[in-house]
Structure 1
Amino acid sequence: MSTSDTDMASSTDSTKAVDDEVRRLYERYQSAESDEERREIALEMGKLDGRRHAEIYAALENE
């Protein structure tokens, strides 16, 4: 396996982990019983999105 294959595999694994986390947060959001709980979950989603974008920009800089 070449370095680019390894990078691609780890990128795919990372993406799947993030997708799974997004799915769990969304399910929690849907079942939330209060606006405060929904707000907290939305903030977690925003942090996750920020990390996701940071990873994308870092990968672009390393190309």
Structure 2
Amino acid sequence: MFDTEMASSTDSSATVDDEVRQLYERYQAADSDEERHEIALEMGKLDGRRHAEIYAALEDE
């Protein structure tokens, strides 16, 4: 059974996965290199946020 911390971590991961999926779909549908570049920057920020969450969780252990 999940404790509250694990459940919230799982919920957060699901939210990030949804955001990644949406960004990827936008990237695939982009009409210009400039638009794809902007979306790629958003993907990078999201990836950085995901890594920060992982490191914070490791520090809490």
Which residue among 20, 34, 37 is the counterpart of 2:35?
A: 37
Q: TM-score, normalised by structure 1?
A: 0.93
Structure 1 consecutive aligned stretches of length 4 or more whose deviation exceeds 3 Å: none
Aligned to 2:22: 24
5+ unaligned residues in a row in structure 2: which ranges? none
Instruction: Report percent identity of matched pairs.
Output: 84
Aligned to 1:13: 11
* In 1: Cα distance, 2:26 partner to 2:38 partner: 10
RMSD, matched Cα: 1.2
Q: TM-score, normalised by structure 2?
A: 0.96
Report how many residues are paired. 61
- Displacement, 1:60? 0.2
AA partner of residue 20 (structure 2): V
